[in-house]
Structure 1
C-alpha cells in the first residue's frame, strides 16, 4: 500500500499548518531578518600639497576615516546612512558599479575598504580609485563621509 495517497498528504499538511487564530508566540521562535552592518574606511585623497614641510622632509600620509553603516533600519555613525543603504539595496549589495559619469583626469588616489555583512551575506571589498569623483560616481553615498 502506498503511504503517499492524496488523503494522507492532505492530512499531514493540515496537521503541520498553524491553527487559525494562533498567536505569534504559538508559531515558534522568531528568526531575525538578515542584518547589514559594514565597517567602511576611506584613505585619501592625499594632502593638498606634495611638497615637504620646512620642518620635515616627509610628505604627510593621507588621513583614514572609518565609520560603521547599519541598514534595516539605517543607522550607525555614517552621516548619510539612509542614502548609503538605498545605494546598496539598488545594486543588490554590490559596493562598486558601472557609472556613466565623466570625471576629470586628475590623479589623486583614494583607497576604500568595506568589511561586514549585507543582508546576512559576507562583504569584503577593497579598491583604489583615481580620485574622489571616480569614487563617488562608482559607489554613490556608500563612502560619502
Structure 2
C-alpha cells in the first residue's frame, strides 16, 4: 500500500509540475481591444515633376489610421475615413470629378503613398497634369 501511495503522490506532483504552467495561459486576461487591429500607417509625399523617382518631395505628411486617426496630415480623420470607404483603393480617390474646370497647363505634380494599410504593404504613385487636377479629385487624402 505504501508503494501505491508513493506512486500516486509522484504522479500527482509530476502532473502539477508539467500541467501547472499550461493553466496559467488559460487564466490570462484577454487582450485589450486596442491591440486587435491591423496597422494602417502611411507616408504621403507631393513633388513637382513627372515621377517620384525624378523629383525630391516638396512636402511629406504622415497618416496613421489604426487604432485612431493621427499624424501630420491636416485632416487625418477625414482622410482615414475616405481610404476606409474606398477599401484602400487609392486610384478611386485620385480620379477627378467632372464638375471642376482646370486649365490645360502642363505643370506635373506627383503624389505618392507608401506604408501599410490594414496590415498590407502599399505603394502608390499618381502624376497629375497640374495642381488643379490634383485638387479636382476632391479627396481629403491628397489635400496637404
Corresponding residue SS for 1:78: coil
More helix by share: 2
RMSD of aligned residue pairs (Cα, Å) = 2.9
Please say if residues 96 and 139 of structure 1, whose CA atoms lie closer than 8 Å, have aligned partners that are also in contact.
Answer: no
Superimposed CA distance per residue, residues 71-111 of structure 1 (whole angstroms, 9 cap, x where no aligned partner): 13110111111111111011111112233333312222111
Aligned structure 1 segments of 4 or more residues deviating by more than 2 angstroms: 27-32, 98-103, 136-139
- What is residue 41 of structure 1 aligned with on the other side? 45
Higher-Rg member (1/2): 2
**C-alpha distance 141-29 of structure 1, shift in aligned 2 (>3 A):** closer
| TM-score, normalising length: structure 1 | 0.62
Task: Could you tell me which runs of 5 or more consecutive residues in structure 1 were left unpaired when the two chains were aligned.
Answer: 1-21, 46-60
- Distance of 2:74 and 2:36 partners within structure 1: 26
Corresponding residue SS for 2:133: helix
| TM-score, normalising length: structure 2 | 0.63
- Distance of 1:32 and 1:38 partners within structure 2: 19
Corresponding residue SS for 2:136: helix
What is the count of residue pairs matched by the alignment? 108
